[in-house]
């Protein structure tokens, strides 16, 4: 039996550059940053006052169906963004509810910590206060605090709820999972869906991730503990992967969701095919030497049946941190040296955490569709610690494969190889 192949037949993407693929691509090819001063809440008293905010995202417009509206009150912002994006990918794949075998329709999503909205807990916290700052009167908590919390409060913030809502709305009863491994989660979700399709346990997946770090509590936590850029005066220049002047990463939000489908199933229904996922690998880079990045990439390249020289470009994690970029560059150099261009989409978007990898994959697939690889923004001064060829100007697509890398600050690595679809 011939090996089952997995192709991308639908794209849903929401980024700081736009809420659909067309506006996303326009921002990339124009070299326009999506990082700007925050408007979702007053961040003026924070050390960081900017981020990658979705332009004009309104949950009630994004989820306007009757069933979706009923579920909205049970969705925190990251969940809303993801469910809306999944619906967009489903529609882009040319599908409607009831057109797929529900038992072979799967959902795989990446996610991370979803912080609570202050309004959901403020009344309970005030009612439970003993009068001493930071101290809780537990008798008050039991009598007045708990009743002040919405009974289904927790369901707004569980990281598996994007997959749950998506499955219910689209009647997807097949394999279903949520991977909560921060920045690498979205790519791992795609890799798991890929392997399930190959095993003939499903025909179609909605897979990807959504996230938002633009929450008043989340920003406070990241300002205290994360390596964030402090370029408040020039936010559009804050995210500068592999540049010698980088000073930290940028909080952001968004989603990337794909219709990932078995090739013969896609052909049978006459679907448009955008690309093929041909190889996947994962590893752990314990000592941050780059060897784990190399192992993950070698596994993906081997499964794809290609050599590093066959790659048009590497779509990098490129988070814009001093140590993280140097670590990734060491790994990329071990894979392709300086011979293959490196594209870092976060330079436009900031760090969307678990949603970053799928949205960044979409950038390269759109580049294949349009024949041009966008430049990496804000790459002005090469860093000797990053011995790679960063793509500084737009360039024509010349080869049919790209490698996507994603990783966490603790060393988990994902790698995937995609092929431009040429009808074979």
CATH number of the domain that 375 lies in? 3.40.47.10
Same domain for 275 and 404, yes or no, is yes
Per-residue pLDDT band for 131 (boundaries 50, 70, 90) equals: confident
Same domain for 389 and 279, yes or no, is yes
Query: What is the model's pLDDT at position 6?
Result: 98
Same domain for 162 and 135, yes or no, is no
According to DSSP, residue 18 is labeled B
| Cα–Cα distance for residue pair 47/413, rounded to 1 Å | 30
Q: Is residue 28 part of a domain?
A: yes
Task: Summarize pLDDT for 258-306 with one digit per residue, the tens.
Answer: 999 999 999 999 999 999 999 999 999 999 999 999 999 999 999 999 9
Task: Summarize pLDDT for 149-169 with one digit per residue, the tens.
Answer: 988 888 999 999 999 999 999
Q: Is residue 1 part of a domain?
A: no
Q: Mind giving me the DSSP string for 352-374?
A: -GGGHHHHHHHHHHHHHHHTEEP
Query: What is the model's pLDDT at position 209?
Result: 98
Q: Is residue 411 part of a domain?
A: yes
Same domain for 146 and 212, yes or no, is no
Q: Is residue 199 part of a domain?
A: yes
Same domain for 278 and 259, yes or no, is yes
Q: Is residue 15 part of a domain?
A: yes
Per the structure, the count of domains in the chain is 2
Which among 153, 176, 210 is the end of a domain? 153
Which among 105, 138, 153 is the end of a domain? 153
Same domain for 149 and 50, yes or no, is no
Query: Which strands sit side by side in the sheet containing 311-315, from one edge to the other?
Result: 176-179, 105-110, 204-212, 253-262, 6-14, 275-284, 412-420, 401-407, 311-315, 341-343, 389-390
Residue 89 phi/psi, 5° resolution?
Answer: -65, -40
**Is the distance from CB of 285 to CB of 411 less than 8 angstroms?**
yes
Residue identified by tokens 């993801």 is: 82
Same domain for 128 and 35, yes or no, is no
Q: Quick one: how far is CA 61 from the chain centroid?
A: 22
Same domain for 127 and 56, yes or no, is no
- First CA to last CA across the chain, in angstroms? 18
Same domain for 320 and 359, yes or no, is yes
Same domain for 35 and 147, yes or no, is no
| Cα–Cα distance for residue pair 362/11, rounded to 1 Å | 7
What is the chain's Cα-based Rg?
A: 21
Q: 338-347: buried (b, 16+ CB within 10 Å) or exposed (e) per residue?
A: eebbbbbbbb
**Is the distance from CB of 17 to CB of 32 less than 8 angstroms?**
yes
Same domain for 127 and 201, yes or no, is no
Residue numbers of the domain that contains 302: 6-115+157-420
Same domain for 12 and 148, yes or no, is no
Per-residue pLDDT band for 1 (boundaries 50, 70, 90) equals: low
Q: Is residue 323 part of a domain?
A: yes
Q: Is residue 133 part of a domain?
A: yes
CA atoms within 13 A on the CB side of 340: 25
The whole-model pTM stands at 0.96
Is residue 256 packed enough to be buried (19+ CB in 10 Å), middle (13-18) or exposed (0-12)?
buried
């Amino acid at each position: 039996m011939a090996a089952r192949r997995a192709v991308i037949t639908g794209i849903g993407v929401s980024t700081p550059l736009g809420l659909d693929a067309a506006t996303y691509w326009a921002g990339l090819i124009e070299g326009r940053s999506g990082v700007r001063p925050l408007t979702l809440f007053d961040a003026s008293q924070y050390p960081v006052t900017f981020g990658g905010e979705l332009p004009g995202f309104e949950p009630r417009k994004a989820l306007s169906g009757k069933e979706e509206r009923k579920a909205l009150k049970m969705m925190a912002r990251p969940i809303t963004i993801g469910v809306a994006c999944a619906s967009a990918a489903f529609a882009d794949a040319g599908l409607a509810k009831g057109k797929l075998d529900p038992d072979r329709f799967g959902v795989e999503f990446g996610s991370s910590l979803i912080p609570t909205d202050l309004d959901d807990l403020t009344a309970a916290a005030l009612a439970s206060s003993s009068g001493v700052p930071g101290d809780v009167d537990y008798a008050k908590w039991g009598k007045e605090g708990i009743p002040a919390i919405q009974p289904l409060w927790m369901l707004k913030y569980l990281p598996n709820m994007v997959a749950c809502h998506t499955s219910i709305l689209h009647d997807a009863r097949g394999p279903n999972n949520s991977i909560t491994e921060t920045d690498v989660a979205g790519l791992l979700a795609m890799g798991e869906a890929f392997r399930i399709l190959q095993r003939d346990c499903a025909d179609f997946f909605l897979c990807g991730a959504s996230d938002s770090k633009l929450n008043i509590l989340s920003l406070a936590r990241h300002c205290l503990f994360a390596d964030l850029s402090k370029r408040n005066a020039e936010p559009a220049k804050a995210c500068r992967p592999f540049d010698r002047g980088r000073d930290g990463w940028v909080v952001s939000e968004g989603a990337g969701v794909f219709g990932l489908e078995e090739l013969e199933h896609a052909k049978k229904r006459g679907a448009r095919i955008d690309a093929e996922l041909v190889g996947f690998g994962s590893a752990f880079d314990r000592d941050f030497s780059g060897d784990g990045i190399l192992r993950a990439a070698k596994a993906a390249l081997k499964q794809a049946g290609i050599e590093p020289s066959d790659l048009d470009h590497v779509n990098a994690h490129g988070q814009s941190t001093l140590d993280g970029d140097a670590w990734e560059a060491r790994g990329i150099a071990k894979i392709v040296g300086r011979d293959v261009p490196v594209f870092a989409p976060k330079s436009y978007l900031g760090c969307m955490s678990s949603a970053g990898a799928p949205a960044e994959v979409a950038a390269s697939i759109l580049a294949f569709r349009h024949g041009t690889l966008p430049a990496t923004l804000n790459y002005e001064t090469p860093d000797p610690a990053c011995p790679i060829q960063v793509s500084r100007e737009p360039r024509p697509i010349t080869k049919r494969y790209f490698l996507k890398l994603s990783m966490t600050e603790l060393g988990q690595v994902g790698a995937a190889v995609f092929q431009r679809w040429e009808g074979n």
